[in-house]
Structure 1
Amino acid sequence: MFVVSALLDFILLHTFTFSLPSLLCSLGRDTAPHRCQIKTGFILLLTLAFLLTAVAYVSEFSLKTAVLPDTFYEKVLNQTRSYYVVIEYPSASKNQTSPSQIPTQSTDMSVHHHVAHPSNYHFILDEPDKCSQWDPFLVFMVPVAPHQVEARNAIRSTWGNESSVQGKAVLTLFLVGLTGGPEAQQKLEEESRQHRDLVQSNFVDSYFNLTIKTMVIMDWLATRCPQASYAMKVDSDMYIGLENLMSLLLAPNTPRENYITGLLMWDRPVIRDKNSKWYVSEELYPEPKYPTYLLGMGYVFSNDLSGKIVEASKKVKAFNIEDAYVGACLKQLGIAPSSPPDPSQFRAYLGQYKRDDFLRVITTILGSPQQLIDIWEDLKRPT
């Protein structure tokens, strides 16, 4: 009502102030025509200024009275800002952390830091007692997108279905981030209740945030599964030769501490091409080459390293190439990745399927979930 009244007052004042000088000039009461022109111009300017003031007031009043709902999508959008933030390490434990308690974040898109330290996140879905019930010798942690149900089911029906290899307990878990919507979240929760093998944390699940995903994996291993002797971070499109892997870990010369092995990457240059998906700015990583690291498709490590890598990450600026970042954390710790006894067992691609080749390897990348199922069934058939 106040706004309407103010507008009416303005209209009346405008009519009076503008009409009176014009009337005087037209009647000849003001004998200086140039002064009539000046007065008229002045009145027009004054009117325009008053009009702009009224519009600004009404706009401000309208904005103040508009309240946006606190929706799930708004929360997810807030999470997205963690892509470009200055790294901070709050003292609160992750169990006390909620999305609203994530550190103050910069929205400057020219800053490409992101919050990689796991204390900035908490678990939405968790299996905190899994390792105490299972007492695994080896834990597979598989980072996977929430919607990739087919990939998870293929692993569940092949190498992820094995609970014991050469007499040692084996456990497979999947790590996901935010789903992006309530319907997808509900489906994920139903899947979790059915299989009891999902761990979810409240970071935006994206390629850029793979470093966050890996650090959350390390934190889960350190805090939820310290009794495991070894762990393996393995991508969801991988074939794993369980027998060969277990033979490697049980070999008498395989270290039980400070050990990590896989497909070694030496002298890899940092990509500075901004059009590349692997681009890293000099601000994030100033050195021209990465330290020696292990290709992220699948690397196995003694589980004491999980907590040590988390601690090292407090001192190593995060960047978006997750496997190279783990290499930077290892360098900070003074720990060098080990070459496997038989480097040919950690393969990126084997090419056309040959049964004997797959029987010899520990890792290789596959083209689809169905290919994993087909190959696994063939490898398990009697000869």
Structure 2
Amino acid sequence: MATKNIWHSLAQERGPYMRQIKKTFIVLLTVALLLSAVAFVSDLNFKTFTFPQAWLNKAMNQTHYNIINSTLAVHTPKDLLAPMSNQQIQQRGTTVAQTTDIPVYYHVAHPSNYHFILDEPDKCQQNPFLVLMVPVAPHQVDARNAIRSTWGNESSVQGKKLLTLFLVGLTGGPEAQQQLEEESRQHRDLVQSNFVDSYFNLTIKTMVIMDWLATRCPQANYSMKVDSDMYLNLENLMSLLLAPNTPRQNYITGMVMWDRPVIRDKSSKWYVSEELYPEPKYPTYLLGMGYVFSNDLSKKLVEASKVIKPFNIEDAYVGACLKQLGVEPSSPPDPSKFKAYLGQYIREDFFRVITTILGSPQQLIDIWKDVKRPT
């Protein structure tokens, strides 16, 4: 009522001019309300075609498998690894903070869909015998530095040249990207591609690694995909690769997974739909924590990925590509050398393995120092 009186008084005082202002104000207010409604509906429609932010947050992580009934933490020098019993290998993944706000619309594994932002195309000019490729999240600087100060610092073992590189995806922000570029300038061991760095996209990450090996380093004899939370005994690994009965082509070995069922439970982190992978069991594959292969396979796997429909279990996907190629994963001569966990720290155990999972970058540093100390 008060508003009506105000408009009436103004109309009497200003006449037709103020009546025109009143009409204009009402029109503008109506237009503003309509625009707000359109924006609200458009926002709802957009959200229905992208994955919710909460889902993407859950998807971001650094590795792919977990050992149940075990929690790793930093321990004292006397007990670097907690004792673990009744261990069972399961798919593992550690959720990390969101590193990018880029929506994930679909999952395409073939590396031709991506390009390198940071690259080290000349790293293989010295013809390394073995290339170690480490998939790692952009923010995991501590993990990279721990590897750089331990097994990643080895450039020659048993007279053979080694090369270690880290593969990352998008950082999700200009400040993080700037820090990554500075790290790249300092160490010259980072390769970055323009895919969303997430748990969901580990298959992409693995295939980009294969693409880099095929295009930048085809002359290498062997390569290894090894996770950033791994202890790696290079002497034992090199002894395996230099053995006279180790194949030089179509060879891949590690911890072999046979007859693993595809998880159809939609509430599971490792759910794969029948649309993506219709078979009830995966083909034989190597556990993603660390597998070594003759480098001729890198190009062949990239080619196979053109016809194998991608799904989000990265090491099983590599197994599907191997099946397409007719290549059977090989059991290592001594399967105990590829261990999931060793249990309570015993120095001598680390002389016998090739790989084993650790709980933190500091554990890697502490164990490495202890293993390398003079006896």
- Give the TM-score of the pair, scaled to structure 1: 0.73
Partner of 1:356: 348
Q: Which residue identity does 1:382 align to in structure 2?
A: P
Report the CA distance between 1:55 and its aligned residue.
Answer: 3.6
- What secondary structure does 1:170 align onto? strand
Aligned residue type for 1:114: H
Cα deviation, 1:222-262, whole Å, max 9, x if unaligned, reads: 00000100000000000001000000000000000000000
Asked if 1:183 is matched to 2:175, the reply is: yes
* Cross-structure match for 2:369: 377
Answer yes or no: is 1:324 the counterpart of 2:300: no
Distance 1:345 1:106 in 2: 38
Say if 2:131 is the partner of 1:139: yes
Number of positions where the alignment pairs a residue of Structure 1 with one of Structure 2: 297
- Residue equivalent to 2:292: 300
**Cα 1:182–1:357, aligned 2, differ >3 Å: closer, same or farther?**
same
Q: CA deviation at 1:355?
A: 1.1
Contact 2:166 2:190 in 1 (8 A): yes
5+ residue gaps in structure 2?
1-16, 40-52, 60-102
Asked if 1:222 is matched to 2:214, the reply is yes
Whole-Å Cα distance in 1 between the matches of residues 184 and 270 of structure 2? Answer: 32
Task: Give runs of aligned pairs for residues 1-383 of structure 1, distance below 5 A.
Answer: 8=20, 11=23, 55=31, 59=35, 107=105, 113-132=106-125, 134-383=126-375
Deviation at 1:9, TM superposition (A): 9.8
Indicate the SS of the match to 2:228: coil
User: Deviation of residue 11 (structure 1)?
Assistant: 4.0
| Per-residue deviation, residues 324-350 of structure 1 (Å, max 9, x unmatched) | 000000001111000000000000110
Instruction: Tell whether the 8 Å contact from 2:104 to 2:196 is kept in structure 1 after alignment.
Output: no
Q: What does residue 3 of structure 2 align with? A: none
Determine which structure has greater relative contact order: mean sequence separation of CA pairs < 8 Å that are 6+ residues apart, divided by chain length.
2
For the residue of structure 2 that corresponds to 1:273, the secondary structure is coil
Which letter maps to 2:334?
A: D
**2-side partners of 1:59 and 1:299: how far apart?**
56
C-alpha separation between the residues in 2 aligned to 1:373 and 1:8?
Answer: 78
RMSD of aligned C-alpha atoms? 2.6
- Three-state SS of the structure 2 residue aligned to 1:319 is coil
Q: Which runs of 4+ in 1 moved over 2 A?
A: 7-12, 54-60
How far 1:277 sits from its partner (Å)?
1.2
1:59-89 superposed Cα distances (whole Å, 9 cap, x missing partner): 39x98xxxxxxxxxxxxx9xx9xx9xxxxxx
Please say which structure displays the higher CA radius of gyration: 1
How does the TM-score come out when normalised to structure 2? 0.75
